Amino acid sequence: MIIIKIAVVGCGKIGTSIIENLTSEGHDVTAVDINNDLVSSCVDLYDCMGVCGSGTDCDTLVECGAGSCNLFVAVTGSDEFNMLSCFMAKQLGAEHTIARIRNPEYNDKNLTFMRERLGLSMSLNPEMLAAGAIFDNLKLPGAVGIETFSRRRFEMIQLNIKEGSSLDGMSLINMRKSYKAKFLVCVVKRGEEVVVPDGNFVLKSGDRVAITASPYEIEKLLKLLDLTGKKAKNVMILGASRTAFYLAQMLLKSGNAVKVIDEDKQRLEEFCEHLPGIVAIEGDGAKQEVLLEEGIGNMDAFTSLTGIDEENILLSLFAMTQNVKKVVAKIDRDEFSSLAEKIGIESHVSPRKIVADIIVRYARGLENSMGNKMETLYKIMDGKAEVMEFRVTSESDVTGITLKDITLKKNILIAGIVRNRKTIIPTGDDSIQVGDMVIVLAAGVRINDITDIIK
Condensed to tens digits (0 to 9), the pLDDT of residues 386-439 reads 999 999 987 778 899 999 999 999 999 999 999 998 999 999 999 999 999 999
Looking at 173, 193, 224, the residue that finishes a domain is: 224
- Residues whose CB falls within 8 Å of the CB of residue 24, separated by 6 or more in sequence, listed in order: none
Give the residue among 420, 405, 421 at the shortest CA–CA distance from 454: 405
In the three-class reduction of DSSP (H, G, I as helix; E, B as strand; rest coil), residue 67 is classed as: helix
Cα 320–chain centre separation: 24
User: Are 138 and 38 contained in the same domain?
Assistant: no
> What DSSP character marks residue 384?
T
Q: What is the pLDDT of residue 231?
A: 77
Amino acid making up residue 77: G
In a domain, 356, yes or no: no
Percent of the chain predicted with pLDDT > 90: 77
User: Are 343 and 438 contained in the same domain?
Assistant: no
User: Are 238 and 321 contained in the same domain?
Assistant: yes
CATH number of domain containing 15 = 3.40.50.720
Residue 158 main-chain phi, psi, to 5 deg = -115, 135
User: Are 246 and 330 contained in the same domain?
Assistant: yes
In the three-class reduction of DSSP (H, G, I as helix; E, B as strand; rest coil), residue 164 is classed as: coil
Condensed to tens digits (0 to 9), the pLDDT of residues 188-208 reads 999 989 999 999 999 999 999
Which pairing describes strands 385-391 and 326-330: parallel, antiparallel, or unpaired?
unpaired
In a domain, 156, yes or no: yes
Percent of the chain predicted with pLDDT > 70: 98
d(CA 57, CA 320): 49
In a domain, 229, yes or no: no
Number of domains, the chain = 4
In a domain, 354, yes or no: no
In a domain, 355, yes or no: no
User: Are 150 and 113 contained in the same domain?
Assistant: no
d(CA 356, CA 81): 20
d(CA 161, CA 207): 5
Amino acid making up residue 416: G
Condensed to tens digits (0 to 9), the pLDDT of residues 134-179 reads 999 998 888 888 999 998 899 999 999 998 899 999 999 999 999 9
User: Are 120 and 22 contained in the same domain?
Assistant: yes
In a domain, 75, yes or no: yes
User: Are 247 and 320 contained in the same domain?
Assistant: yes
User: Are 80 and 56 contained in the same domain?
Assistant: yes
Q: What is the pLDDT of residue 232?
A: 83
User: Are 247 and 339 contained in the same domain?
Assistant: yes
* Least confident piece of the model among 51-65, 68-82, 112-126, 377-391: 112-126
> Confidence band (pLDDT; 50, 70, 90) for 74?
very high
Q: Which domain holds residue 294?
A: 234-349
> What DSSP character marks residue 381?
T
Condensed to tens digits (0 to 9), the pLDDT of residues 95-125 reads 999 999 988 777 667 777 888 888 899 999 9
Looking at 91, 124, 157, the residue that finishes a domain is: 124
In a domain, 446, yes or no: yes
Q: What is the pLDDT of residue 394?
A: 78
User: Are 246 and 146 contained in the same domain?
Assistant: no
CATH number of domain containing 402 = 3.30.70.1450
> Confidence band (pLDDT; 50, 70, 90) for 370?
low
Q: What is the pLDDT of residue 1?
A: 62
Q: What is the pLDDT of residue 157?
A: 95
Give the residue among 435, 415, 437, 433 at the shortest CA–CA distance from 425: 415
d(CA 425, CA 437): 12
Looking at 349, 373, 388, the residue that finishes a domain is: 349
User: Are 148 and 90 contained in the same domain?
Assistant: no
Q: Does position 369 have pLDDT exceeding 60, yes or no?
A: no
What is the H or E stretch that residue 44 is in? Answer: helix 36-45
User: Are 119 and 9 contained in the same domain?
Assistant: yes
Q: What is the pLDDT of residue 104?
A: 76
In a domain, 325, yes or no: yes
d(CA 281, CA 161): 37
